[in-house]
């Protein structure tokens, strides 16, 4: 059973803990203030650990060794990023995320390889997307027929350095734009995925779960499972196959 460690017992931390436990996962919550655990005193079976979230001993008591993911959602930017780095670099936790209040510092933290989200855009759902990369994709926009959704694509870290066109070829998705260091950018034919990027793509609703599965694995694990993106778009717009072909420079 996957184990999750959360640093910070504020509103987001409590919601994360209860959501993950309700999904059948084991959870440990860390906070320096024992009073912060009050909302979790009833009907919560997870572990409550009092201590500094980036202290190795505290993390070990929370079960960080072998943890599936770590989320630092306390009220301190620096503490969150330091804790996330310790979790990733010392304890080799692959799925980490840090809450950041100051958007001007988000770029710096992203360059350190720590996925961050500015507090103004923060939500429990966004945290779950980053620490549960294999969960079903939830679209940010759904077109009228319901067949296509625009959504974030969580990628395995080993996709870093691969061209976006290779990601499209492996999944059948059409990448609309990426967010890099807090800024949106339109991809070019030679644009590659960098660790910390957020990839936004249009995908077929009925293929969303399979796409999430493919991208949650290292690229070498997807050999032989590539999809032709023309198939996905031709299926979505069966009445306009010619237009789809001419609009897709990556498949000509």
Domain CATH code at residue 7? 3.40.50.720
Structural domain total, the chain: 2
Q: Is residue 167 part of a domain?
A: yes
Digit-coded pLDDT (tens) for 96-114:
989 888 877 777 777 777 7
Q: Is residue 226 part of a domain?
A: yes
The per-residue pLDDT for 53 is 95
pLDDT at 63 over 80: yes
Q: Which domain holds residue 237?
A: 141-247
Task: Say how many C-beta atoms besides its own lie within 10 A of residue 54's C-beta.
Answer: 22
The CB-side HSE value for 200 (13 A sphere, CA atoms) comes to 14
Q: Is residue 136 part of a domain?
A: no
The total number of residues written for the chain in this structure:
252
The per-residue pLDDT for 237 is 40
Q: Which of 131, 154, 185 marks a domain boundary?
A: 131
Mean predicted lDDT score pLDDT of the chain: 81
Tell whether 97 and 22 lie within a shared domain.
yes
Tokens of 51: 């201590």
Tell whether 19 and 57 lie within a shared domain.
yes
Tell whether 121 and 156 lie within a shared domain.
no
């Amino acid at each position: 059973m996957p184990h999750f460690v959360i640093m910070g017992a504020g509103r987001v931390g409590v919601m994360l803990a209860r959501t993950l436990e309700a999904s059948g996962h084991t959870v440990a919550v860390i906070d320096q203030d024992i009073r912060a655990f009050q909302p979790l005193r009833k009907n919560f079976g997870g572990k409550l650990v009092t201590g500094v979230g980036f202290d190795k001993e505290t993390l070990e008591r929370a079960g960080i060794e072998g943890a599936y993911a770590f989320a630092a959602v306390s009220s301190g930017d620096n503490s969150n990023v330091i804790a996330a780095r310790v979790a990733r670099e010392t304890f080799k936790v692959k799925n980490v995320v840090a809450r950041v209040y100051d958007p001007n510092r988000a770029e710096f933290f992203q360059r350190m390889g720590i996925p961050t989200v500015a507090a103004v855009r923060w939500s429990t759902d966004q945290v779950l997307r980053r620490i549960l990369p294999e969960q079903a994709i939830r679209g940010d926009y759904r077109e009228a027929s319901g067949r296509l959704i625009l959504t974030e694509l969580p990628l395995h870290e080993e996709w870093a350095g691969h061209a976006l066109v290779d990601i499209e070829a492996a999944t059948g998705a059409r990448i609309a734009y990426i967010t890099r260091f807090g800024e949106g950018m339109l991809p070019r034919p030679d644009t590659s995925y960098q660790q910390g990027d957020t990839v936004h793509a249009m995908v077929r609703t009925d293929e969303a779960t399979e796409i999430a599965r493919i991208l949650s694995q290292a690229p070498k694990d997807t050999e032989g499972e590539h999809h032709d993106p023309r198939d996905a778009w031709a299926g979505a717009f069966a009445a306009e196959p010619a237009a789809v072909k001419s609009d897709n420079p990556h498949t000509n």
